Amino acid sequence: MKFRKTNISDVILCEPHIISDERGYFFESFKKEAFEKFIGSSVNFCQDNEAKSTKGVLRGLHYQLPPFAQAKLVRVISGKVLDIAVDIRKGSATFGQHVSVELSGENKRQLFVPVGFAHGYVVLSDEAIFSYKVDNYYHKESERGIIFNDPELQIDWKLLLKELIISEKDKIQSTFNKADLFEINFK
């Protein structure tokens, strides 16, 4: 597995070494020791989640507040999505900036979204199966969100507004300026 820092260095792109032949393929999708060595800290994923969605479904931008904040390792099993991670850590040099990466069943890339980031994705293929690990359990009272089309964030979701399928909850999320964000002490 190769690890690469993105334009926001705490968000990590993971690219597996794929072994293919006439029978199919094999790759290691997660190796704790190598992953932790690269990020320089330990991570204890406690749950795997999976979602199936059709083209245009946009989920996000979601996060949980401390002490229930979550780091995520996301990937696409089949189909293609545009995955977004927004830095919501006040005081960060990249506060308000985002990472945008295409993840697909073909490229088998994964994205590590650390604590302190809002996360979302939109399905670009006819359908997609999205899978992710989290290091903390869902906690409804700590759940927060930012509206997907906040003009301050300038996220290009690659689809027209009329093509998007968005839950009622995600249509009324807070703007970035009014959201409960992370207070992190950066040295």
* Interval 122-167: pLDDT, tens: 999 999 999 999 999 999 999 999 999 999 999 999 999 999 999 9
The answer as to whether 26 is a domain residue is: no
Number of domains in the chain: 1
Handedness of CA 94, 156, 118, 182 (dihedral sign): positive
Q: Is position 78 within any domain?
A: yes
pTM: 0.94
What range defines the domain where residue 110 resides?
Answer: 45-183
Quick check: is 6 in a domain? no
Q: Is residue 8 part of a domain?
A: no
Q: Tens digit of pLDDT for each residue in 61-103?
A: 999 999 999 999 999 999 999 999 999 999 999 999 999 999 9
Mind telling me the catalytic residues?
Answer: 62, 132
Radius of gyration of the chain (CA): 16
What CATH number is given to the structural domain containing 140? 2.60.120.10
Burial state string for 11-27 with b = 16 or more CB within 10 A and e = fewer than 16: bbbbebeeeeeeeeeee
Question: Is residue 16 in a domain?
Answer: no
34 domain residue, yes or no: no
The predicted pLDDT at position 187 comes to 47
- Per cent of the chain over pLDDT 90 is 95
As a residue count, the chain comes to 187
In a domain, 59, yes or no: yes
Asked whether residue 5 is domain-assigned, the answer is: no
Given CA atoms 34, 134, 158, 142 in this order, what sign does their dihedral have? negative
Amino acid at 34: A
